[in-house]
Structure 1
Amino acid sequence: MSDIDAFLPDSAFNLGAHAADWREAIRLAGAGLVAAGFTTEAYTDEMIETVEKMGPYIVIAPGLALAHSRPSDAVLNTGLSWVRLDEPVEFGNKANDPVSLVIGLAGRDESEHITVMSAIAAALSKADKREKLASAATPEDIRDVLKG
């Protein structure tokens, strides 16, 4: 089992989800983190509070938000969730809105948080990988693209 399999289990995926707004999109990402056993529900609130305080800096590429907050007691294990929205939502980031992919990130400590965030950012910085991820049909297909 590779790191990506451990950090992104099937229970952390929601493909074809609907969100009315950015808060609901982050709640969906938080639900995936909770379902996978990575966080408590309190972490979802922390992710939303982060955007309310810091702005939509989590929208790191066109159509992509990396929802996260600082490591806290609400993080049980380091991991990711993956939410693909059926209709994109606005986060308020003029350069990269609207968002159709929300990746939830929980790190137990700063080191793990940065390691996982860097690996995801590296994979998503390549346009061809983003296209493959956008059309991948299953969690396994998505993990295969991330591994490649």
Structure 2
Amino acid sequence: MSIMKLIGDNGIVISHETNLSVDAALDITCSKLIEQGKVEPSYLAAIKAKHKEIGAYYVLAPKIAMPHARPEDGVNEQALQITIFKNGVNLESEDNGDVYFSVTLAAMDSDSHIQTIMALAELFQNDEDVDAIIAADNEAAIAEILNKY
């Protein structure tokens, strides 16, 4: 399944907020998924709880995060939400600095999202596309790049 199919028509958020707390940033990264009923609020709570327990486990590389929890924590439908933090956000990752590009992953089980992870890994390795997504001014420009994956 393509990345854009999992994002849907209303799954890209561009945030211009500054000085966000970790909790406020995570609220934004799950906002559309919760709003659309793709995940329950308990899913966001599980991400926050795991962060408090072990830190920013979901910050994958400089600029990039992939917040996620277990399917049983409240996933109703396999989905992705893309969040761009135009001013960056400190998610307390000692090794990777501020996050600008977040992909919230909601998977129904351990296996069904393997192809999605492979497509995202390909995207994350393409610095040019990652930087273009972060620099994009609107959702359509972001979707155009994501349609390649």
TM class, shorter-length:
0.7 to 0.9
1:16 corresponds to: 15
Instruction: Tell me the distance in 2 between the aligned counterparts of 1:118 and 1:52.
Output: 28
Q: Do the aligned partners of 1:91 and 1:98 also contact (CA within 8 Å) in 2?
A: yes
Tell me, which stretches of 5 or more residues in structure 1 are unaligned? none
* Residue 30 (structure 1) shift: 1.2
* Residue 133 (structure 1) shift: 0.9
Once the two structures are superposed, what CA deviation does each residue of 1:76-117 show, in whole Å capped at 9, x if it has no partner?
111111111232221221221111222211001111233323
Once the two structures are superposed, what CA deviation does each residue of 1:110-141 show, in whole Å capped at 9, x if it has no partner?
11233323321221111111111112233232
Q: How does 1:18-37 map to 2 (within 5 A)?
A: 18=17, 20-37=20-37
1:4 corresponds to: 3
CA RMSD of aligned residues (A): 1.9
Q: Do the aligned partners of 1:66 and 1:105 also contact (CA within 8 Å) in 2?
A: yes
Q: Do the aligned partners of 2:4 and 2:147 also contact (CA within 8 Å) in 1?
A: no
2:64 corresponds to: 64
Tell whether 2:94 aligns with 1:94. yes
2:82 corresponds to: 82
Q: Do the aligned partners of 1:66 and 1:102 also contact (CA within 8 Å) in 2?
A: yes
* Residue 72 (structure 1) shift: 1.1
Q: Do the aligned partners of 1:11 and 1:35 also contact (CA within 8 Å) in 2?
A: no
Once the two structures are superposed, what CA deviation does each residue of 1:9-49 show, in whole Å capped at 9, x if it has no partner?
23222113426212211111111211233111111111111
Instruction: Tell me the distance in 1 between the aligned counterparts of 2:120 and 2:142.
Output: 12
Number of residue pairs the alignment of both structures matches:
147
Deviates more, 1:2-11 or 1:84-93: 2-11
Q: Do the aligned partners of 2:2 and 2:116 also contact (CA within 8 Å) in 1?
A: no
> Amino acid of the residue matched to residue 15 of structure 2?
G
When normalised by structure 2's length, the TM-score is: 0.86
* Residue 62 (structure 1) shift: 0.9
Identity fraction in percent:
21
When normalised by structure 1's length, the TM-score is: 0.87
Tell whether 2:41 aligns with 1:47. no
> Amino acid of the residue matched to residue 32 of structure 2?
G
Relative contact order, higher structure (CA 8 A, sep 6+):
2
Tell whether 2:119 aligns with 1:127. no
